Chain A
Amino acid sequence: MSVVSEPSSAVPQMAAAAAAKRLPLARIGIWAVTLFLCLTPFLLVIAISFGQKIEGASWEWAFSFANYQRVFVGANWPEEFTALYLQKLYYSLYYAVIASVLAVITAFPFTYLMTGLSKRAQSAWLVFILSSLSLSEVFIVMGWDVLLSNRSGLPMVFKATGLTQWLKDVGWFETLRDWGLANPRDVKFKTSVFATVLTMAYLVWPYAVILLYPPLSRLDRSMTEAARTMGAGPWTVMRTVVLPAVRLPLMGSVLLLFVFLLGVYVAVTVFAEPAKQTMAVSVYEAVRGNTLNAPFGSAQAVILLLTAGLFLALGQWLTRRNAS
């Protein structure tokens, strides 16, 4: 990393002195800007989470754990225990775990196949993947909403093609009803856990490809070829050569996507049942919605932040353990 220190030895002394004078100021400036923009917002959330709401007004600074108590055991504890907000946290984790695992499992074979293509073809796929990745959550939710809505989407396709009738005939329709995926007459996907998880997995699928792309494209293809020439079948190669090499990136990707999905808001408000909303939605309701309780919203945001930090740290630890 001493790449520039050598040319600087050739720099005339006066210029070096001038640079030394200018440099600390510039460094202090960039530190100040970064600290201000990237750290203070998080510090404010943490500080305000200890504050108190003033009835009918806004809130004031304080130092109480009442907001955290309300999240974990309810406002009226110890007389009464409510797990309402714990349940929201549970659903945050629940959706995020399923969707991130689903995304990585399906993105892995895709990315593996993609890295075997020519560089040109890879570029074309990457343009497609990146365009989909950058597409706003609101558009994706809109698209899936149209696809899954009861009037115009897949339920109508099911009905028109006779699939609904067939499901009824073979008796699987009742199973779908048990899963909450059908009303007495037709299949329905809104609102359901299925729709929520599907949209969330879709949301992070391109991210999964982008995350798995570097380790898979750096995979030494001569190793797999050697294994093949020695007579190993494609599944054996996958199991004994490829998977062990990318086990860590796979787990790392699941963790990163999981953390990303903790904060998903639009997909959950549209596709999840009211009783199965997540903490991110609850944060919004407290800070900007009807209840207007910024400290309580902040406390929930801090809990989300800690959960995210915990899993990111776990990922770091896994990487370091593997490296040593």
Chain B
Amino acid sequence: MILRSLGNLFMALSAVMLALPIVVVCGAALNSGRSMFFPPRDPTLVRFHEFFVSEPVWVEALTNSMIIAFGSAALAVLIAWPVAYGLWARGDKASKFLAGLGSMPFALPPIVFGVGLGFLWTFLGVLGSIWAGVVSHAALFLALPIVTISIGLQSIEKSHLDAAATMGATRAVAFRTVILPQTIPYTVSGFFFALVLSFNEFIVMFFVSASSYSTVTLQIFNSLRNGYTPTMAVAAITFIFVSVVVFSAVARWGDLPRLMGAEPTKS
């Protein structure tokens, strides 16, 4: 029993350690002055108003972040579907190669991919356009929906497909009535994983934006040199909040342990 309490202590300690810098940043957001202190002096919520409403720099950065996150996540899911479907339906060497290729940007150091995308968009003459940013993130996070959709497709029971076929369903009908409904939670999870990671991504966006627009993370990095302001901490809170909400939703409506690779529970 000593061992169990030691284990609990270790888990609690890990949680504290993990939360420590986050708590510090969040606390600093309540400062009323221009400098960041912890614990905050004269707690106020003015900084939240600045971030969301009154400071054009931050509002614009937030808008860009949202456009890129939603756009790239949607695009990543659209590209990932046929890749994952091919991998599941055919499972040949070519499909595996394609899936591996799609996961490559995520597996290798992002700074290299960022430099390469910078060159690519320069050649195409679209460096610094926000759409190039959307496509860049879609490529970077393509691996996530490929993985979640693959997990979803593998969970479809063969008997359902056989039943559909016996009852005379065409391929298209079977796809619409059996495959699609069963994989929607996994598709949505993939979308949200890509969304949240895109929201927080820094280095690739740094190279492809070419300073012609900024996202929240870029804006924060730019402000690092001038010292921290509490408004930056508000940005951090917003991002953490979005992550917690999104992953809670995935846990609530999807099967988070399964998505993370735990053995499926027999029901």
Residues of A that sit less than 8 Å from B by CB = 1, 3-12, 15-16, 19, 26-27, 30-31, 33-35, 37-45, 48, 106, 109-110, 113-115, 119, 122-124, 126-132, 134-147, 152, 202, 205-206, 210, 213-214, 217-218, 234, 256, 259-260, 262-263, 265-266, 270, 280, 283-284, 287-288, 294, 297-298, 301-302, 304-305, 308-309, 312
Contacts and interface: CB of A to CB of B under 8 A. Distances in A.
Contact of B171 (A7, A260, A298): A7
A38 B171 contact: no
A130 B138 CA distance: 20
A287 B260 contact: no
Nearest to B23: A143
Given A39-B101, A138-B202, A3 B261 contact: no
Given A27-B82, A34-B102, 6 more contacts: A6-B161, A27-B86, A30-B82, A30-B86, A135-B240, A137-B203
A147 B260 contact: no
Given A1-B91, A135-B240, A143-B25, A42 B113 contact: yes
A14 B227 CA distance: 68
Nearest to B39: A152
B62 interface: no
B110 interface: yes
A318 to B, nearest CB: 16
A10 B166 contact: yes
A263 B11 contact: no
B257 interface: yes
B24 interface: yes
Given A41-B116, A106-B14, A110-B14, A9 B165 contact: yes
Interface string B91-114: 100000010011011011111110
B245 to A, nearest CB: 9
Interface residues of B, number: 95
B142 interface: yes
A128 B95 CA distance: 34
Contacts of A114: 11
A26 B262 CA distance: 33
Given A130-B243, A143-B21, A217-B257, A3 B88 contact: yes
Contacts of A130: 243, 247
B149 interface: no
B115 A287 contact: yes
B151 to A, nearest CB: 11
Contacts of B22: 132, 135, 139, 143
B66 interface: no
B61 interface: no
Given A9-B165, A146-B28, A263 B119 contact: no
B261 to A, nearest CB: 3
Nearest to A219: B263
A30 B83 contact: yes
Nearest to A119: B257
Contacts of B116: 40-45, 301
Contacts of A137: 200, 202-203
Given A110-B11, A143-B24, A280-B109, A7 B161 contact: yes
A128 B221 CA distance: 25
Contact of B247 (A15, A40, A119, A127): A127
Contact of B262 (A140, A217, A288): A217
A301 B224 contact: no
B217 A304 contact: no
Contacts of A218: 261-263
A259 B109 contact: yes
B47 to A, nearest CB: 14
Given A126-B260, A213-B261, A266-B221, A15 B170 contact: yes
B176 to A, nearest CB: 13
Contacts of A132: 18-19, 22
B243 A135 contact: yes
Contacts of A16: 171
Nearest to B113: A41
Given A19-B171, A109-B10, A123 B256 contact: yes
